[in-house]
Amino acid sequence: MKVLVTGGAGFIGSHVCDEFLRAGHEVVALDNLSSGRRENLDPRVKLAVLDIRSPEAAELIRSERPQAICHLAAQMDVRRSVEDPRFDADANILGFLNLLEAARTAGVKKVIFSSTGGAIYGEQDIFPAPESHPTRPVSPYGVSKASGELYLGYYKAQYGLDYVALRYANVYGPRQNPHGEAGVVAIFAQRLVAGRECTIFGDGGQTRDFVFGPDVARANLLAFEKDYVGAINIGTGIETDINRLYALLAEGAGSTTPVTHAPGKPGEQRRSCITPALAQKVLGWRPTVALADGLRKTVEYFRAKAREPSRAAG
């Protein structure tokens, strides 16, 4: 079958492309390369360099007629969404609607939507949060992802377009771009291997649920293969605070550089952690890479990139 992966040259998207290729599918990637990289893609993937908001992106869907769309292209920086909510909505809501309108007329059978399991719940009442937890995002980014899920519900009810909204925890791993994509692990790893100082915003006691990129990619393939419709958390159910995260990364990088602290940023919640119980039940998915192992692989990736002077990471 043919699958279109938006944001396919990016960090998570390229791992998703790899998963579908290994399963024997034809893969087309749509990416504007604002943060994605051609070198992330397997040569067998057809790359269309387009913006999801453009008429050309809609025409690509109508001409390629994929059976499914994995939608990962997004404005994904919480801080930028707070600073410029109109830009966030333009990319994450209007861009997505552009694709959905093309999908319904092109005969697409299923949309696998990359949502957020952190920002969509806001300040949680329950840890780890299940999918039934109230959605009350405290950032425009979280609002835009919640809107995407609501639009998917509409397109399912009105046009019969099946969907799965994968609510990711904090995804990290090899290929993450520390400049173009929001990701504290990538930022810290790149700076640590370069011997540079890192900054933690706030006291470092804020917690997140960190899940490895290739594990997330596998969830996309499973969501494509199963009949389930609705939202599913993709996380580990384990909270890790940022101070502990930094200590693990510094140890992996062999760094003794002390961390500095700066004032916290608006729009960021204190604690975030989601349960993967439903993913295990309906997809047969669970995280397979422990945090320490995933961080070690990530540091190794950035160390290898640092040895490439013509294509240094970032």
Residues forming the active site: 141
Distance CA 260, CA 262 (A): 7
Cα separation, 29 vs 27, in Å, equals 7
Q: Which residue has the tokens 């949060």?
A: 129
Distance CA 190, CA 255 (A): 12
Q: Which long-range contacts (CB under 8 A, 24 or more apart) does 251-259 make?
A: 252/295, 252/296, 252/299, 253/189, 253/192, 253/193, 253/299, 253/303, 255/192, 255/195, 257/192, 257/195, 257/196, 257/197, 257/198, 258/197, 259/197, 259/198, 259/199, 259/200, 259/204
CA distance 265 to 267: 7
- Between the two ends of the chain, the Cα-to-Cα distance in Å is 34
Q: What is the DSSP string of 182-226?
A: --HHHHHHHHHHTT---EEESSS--EE-EEEHHHHHHHHHHHHHS
Count of C-beta atoms within a 10 Å radius of residue 36: 27
- d(CA 57, CA 64) in angstroms, rounded, equals 11
Rounded-to-integer distance, Cα 51 and Cα 30, Å: 8
